Structure 1
Amino acid sequence: MYLCRLILPLSRMSDFQQKEDTSWLDNLRVVATISVIFLHVAAPFLYKFDKISGFNWWTANVYDSLVRFCVPIFVMITGALLLPKDYELSDYLKKRVTRIILPFIFWISIYLLHVLSTLKNGFKLPFLEMLNIGSTKIAYKTTYHFWYIYMIIGIYLFIPILSKWVKRATEKDIIYFLVLWVIAIIIANPLFLKHIPDFNLKYFSGFVGYVVLGYYLSIRNFEKVKHIRTISFFIFTTGVLLTIFGTYFLSISNGRFTIDLYTYFSPNVVIAAIGLFLFFKHTNLVNPQLKVIRKFTNKHSFGIYFVHILVLYYLSRFGVNGAVFGVVFGIPLTTILCLAISGLIIYLLKKLPFGDKLAG
């Protein structure tokens, strides 16, 4: 109900204003960066649904559900930052897209070399498989997070077109798009698919909806809404609780871990992402120590995303994973250690010649 009251009513043009201070988006990016590591540390325990204690599985379920917003928030930040700007196409492609492509080529080469070096049979890998290494089963455990890079490159290519539309669109137009996007992702969700007619709304589905949503929520003025922080926190908590308990009951019902409510297009995850986005929009960071951490993590977040899976791999080789000291403490401690090592690696890489262009 709060969500509908916050987003659906149409507003005057005076209720739309882009905040000059975008530090809250930096705060969100840092939280999303930490959360994606947290998610990858916790996830392995979830697939051991009937092989570990109920307490450990529940801990991982709570932890993972808390951070399912990470990728949607990354994409919403992209919409909030890039859609309000004007672009000259060739200049945009040179400056924006190459900033993703070069680190992508560099890191996929690193992961390729890593996979080849860890093969039991040495370098005996067919050439065509090497070209397709990012999606092969051989490389899955070390390159599965690259799906995000493929997706974000597609989003970046679409931004100049989308930007022109949103700036000419009325609030009614944007809400129309977002409503159809929500309907499209509900229809596509496995939980609802068999109960809903198969309307073809695929053009409205996908991560582009998060781009538009991030833009809309960033320029929409909610200052007149009383207790906006409390309401947004309530929205976030509602989404998280739906994920936690919904996943548990679905898993119990199916006798195995069921991921349906963990997907980034589950309504509960959309709700959590909206709540967190609005909460940070109306929250100021004043602690000077946290500002230092924010500045460092924000500056190196893209590179941290690239390298963190490799860091987790080698931490695990040395016996450091989410099970250290028990999952309650092991998952956060492993996350912090991985974040610190990943950040240090990217910091040092950027000190090398051309390192700032390749590290991410």
Structure 2
Amino acid sequence: MNQAERINSFSYIRAIACIAIIVLHTFASASILFGDQIGVLTNAWSRAISNVLMWTVPCFVMTTGALLLEESRKLTYEKLFKKYILRILAALVIFTMVFRGFDMIMDGEQVGIGILLSWIYELFTGTSWSHLWYLYLLIGLYFLMPFYRKIAQFSEEFDIRYLLIIYVVFVSVLPLTNLINLRSGFYIHVSTIYPFYLFCGYAIHKGIIKVNQWLAVAAVFFSSCLIVVLTIIRWTDSIDVMEQLWGYSSIFVVVQAVGIFALFDKIKGKGSGLIHKFLLNIDRCSFGIYLIHMIFIRWILRYMSFNPYKCNEIINFFLLIIGIFIISYFCTWILKKIPILKNIL
């Protein structure tokens, strides 16, 4: 792939993942707020829709890995801190403040030193709005990026494959024994799944891991079907321990995300037409959309008490998701016109 083709394929996956994030958070928020007002099966299907979209963040991380672990890309410490870490940190500071202010206004709290202290507490402890966890994740990955790049640069292809297998076995497969109340005593000392996604995106893009197109399609199809079926079983039979089956370290989500990323990575060509331009424009605003969209979800579902399950659910959710996406996109587009925010969003 040449540079233009690579950027297009990654832009497409970021754009589609951005839209999928809105769908995920809309259904997840609706089921949390109104789950006790709807039937068990309706709640189960609603949860299944959000769970089957858990590939979104892993694909974002895989794209980051494919780009930043590339040996030809120069990444000095100055560039790392100024372009990447400072940007995410600034977004975190600004939007935890915005969200704290939003909650203060909507909940009728009084302005005072307590609001400032609670904002600082939420910023430091990561207890602001839940979707901001992704920013903390990015900051951690960026801090370690120089060492991740050295691993990628000086490792043989076998070493990368070995690293991926170790991550999958210890972080994704062994925890499945928790389903039968049997906790494994074996673990690796860097035991989160996200470095796996980082290196997996790099490995797929470099051809270290080759995923056949039809194998990728089958992986996405069967893992998605399993997530849907298992989610319905979990909620109809009230089996709480099954929640781990659609977390980011779930083997089903791993297989699903790898398959989706591999399919997009195979896209070649410079791209043209309305869909191409549409996806590129979404990609340019994807970070801002990710940050902003929860304001409208919370406002409409929680504070306006809009229950999308009433009357025609399909039309309600469709219009809600489309409306939130359009408003979030244009808000981001406008905010990017402000010089300070342009480099953040």
| TM bracket (short chain) | 0.7 to 0.9
Pair 1:277 & 2:277 matched? no
Q: Which of 311, 320, 324 does residue 296 from structure 2 map onto?
A: 311
Per the alignment, residue 118 of structure 2 pairs with 129
The CA deviation at 1:122 is 2.2
The CA deviation at 1:273 is 0.3
How has the CA–CA distance of structure 1 residues 20 and 220 changed in structure 2, closer, same or farther, with 3 Å as cutoff?
A: farther
Between stretches 73-82 and 114-123, larger displacement belongs to 114-123
Aligned-partner SS, 2:65: helix
How has the CA–CA distance of structure 1 residues 253 and 45 changed in structure 2, closer, same or farther, with 3 Å as cutoff?
A: same
Unaligned ranges ≥5, structure 2: none
Distance 1:19 1:230 in 2: 25
Check the 8 A contact 1:56/1:327 in 2, yes or no. Answer: no
Per the alignment, residue 59 of structure 1 pairs with 45
Deviation string, structure 1 residues 151-179 (Cα, Å, up to 9, x no partner): 11111111121011111111111111111
Distance 1:37 1:29 in 2: 13
Per the alignment, residue 218 of structure 2 pairs with 234
Per the alignment, residue 117 of structure 1 pairs with 105
The CA deviation at 1:318 is 4.6
Between stretches 175-184 and 201-210, larger displacement belongs to 201-210
User: Which structure has the highest helix share of the two?
Assistant: 2
Distance 2:314 2:153 in 1: 46
Aligned-partner SS, 2:343: helix
TM-score normalised according to structure 1 size: 0.83
How has the CA–CA distance of structure 1 residues 332 and 189 changed in structure 2, closer, same or farther, with 3 Å as cutoff?
A: farther
Could you tell me which amino acid in structure 2 is paired with residue 211 of structure 1?
Answer: L
Aligned-partner SS, 1:132: helix
Between stretches 114-123 and 35-44, larger displacement belongs to 114-123
Per the alignment, residue 231 of structure 2 pairs with 247
Per the alignment, residue 13 of structure 1 pairs with none
1:1-360 to 2 correspondences below 5 Å: 21-22=5-6, 23-47=8-32, 51-84=37-70, 85-123=73-111, 125=114, 128-134=117-123, 143-185=129-171, 186-189=173-176, 191-192=178-179, 194-195=181-182, 197-220=184-207, 228-254=212-238, 258-283=242-267, 288-316=273-301, 317-318=303-304, 322-323=308-309, 326-358=312-344, 360=345
Distance 1:256 1:180 in 2: 27
The CA deviation at 1:267 is 0.6
Could you tell me which amino acid in structure 1 is paired with residue 82 of structure 2?
Answer: K
How has the CA–CA distance of structure 1 residues 198 and 332 changed in structure 2, closer, same or farther, with 3 Å as cutoff?
A: farther
TM-score normalised according to structure 2 size: 0.87
Distance 1:95 1:203 in 2: 26
How has the CA–CA distance of structure 1 residues 159 and 355 changed in structure 2, closer, same or farther, with 3 Å as cutoff?
A: same
Check the 8 A contact 1:79/1:211 in 2, yes or no. Answer: yes
The CA deviation at 1:192 is 4.7
Q: CA RMSD of the aligned region, Å?
A: 2.9
Distance 1:219 1:311 in 2: 39
Check the 8 A contact 1:218/1:281 in 2, yes or no. Answer: yes
Identity %: 21
Aligned-partner SS, 1:80: helix
Distance 2:239 2:216 in 1: 34
Could you tell me which amino acid in structure 1 is paired with residue 169 of structure 2?
Answer: I
The CA deviation at 1:319 is 5.8
